[in-house]
Chain A
Amino acid sequence: MAENVTPRVRVPKEATAGEVITIKTLISHPMESGQRKDKEGNLIPRSIINHFTCSFNGETVIEVAMEPAISTNPYFEFQAKVPESGTFTFTWIDDDGSTYEETKEIAVA
């Protein structure tokens, strides 16, 4: 069970209709790869975030299937089209079944 998992997301507060914006996301998580051994030589079991989704007003921007080769504190940068004012929803799914969610509002002037 990963502890202190904190998502951080950077989204502009405003955009013009149809504008393409850059989004950056980071979530603190050890991403235990399942390849490492402890001091006694026992394999430390895999425990990663295996899925990430960003959607806007219910429509998908990007979805990522993640493997243990994604670094500790998974970082993604990508671009989204903003057709209208609304809410970005970011969801991360952990191997242990936990989901972490963050939302960001954006206003179209």
Chain B
Amino acid sequence: AVMLGGRAAFATPTEELIAEFTGGAEITGEGLSLTAPEIAENGNTVPVEVEAPGAEAIMLLATGNPNPDVGVFHFGPLAGAQMASTRIRLAGTQEVVAIAKMSDGSFARAAQEVKVTIGGCGG
């Protein structure tokens, strides 16, 4: 696809949330890991773990949900490691994405496809 700088006009909600988080900076960093199951039988409660040594903050996104934002973890001076696990809702099979803001100002991305048997929204 040809990119003509008009990113915002065609951006998906996920891309908009990422751009808001990064301030439009390129995502070139490394060192973020995202752990999620390949198959989740129940989309109502899917365990997810993120870890990025040296990160200030990590944003978690569920790209296939009605609202893709899941949460943002901010690590304070007494964080023993820049990691967190939680349980999230996934409306269906989709890619879960994490973006880390590193302390040097760079950003890193990690993604994992999760197959969901029973969706975790609506009902």
Contacts and interface: CB of A to CB of B under 8 A. Distances in A.
A65 B20 CA distance: 15
Interface in B79-94: 79-81, 83-90
Size class of the contact patch on chain B? 20 to 34
Interface stretch (B24-32, B67-75, B108-116): B67-75
A37 interface: yes
A3 interface: no
A103 interface: no
Interface residues of A, number: 32
A79 B71 contact: no
B85 A63 contact: no
Interface of B: 44-46, 49, 62, 65-67, 69-81, 83-90, 120-123
Interface of A: 20-22, 33, 35-37, 55-56, 59-72, 74-81, 83
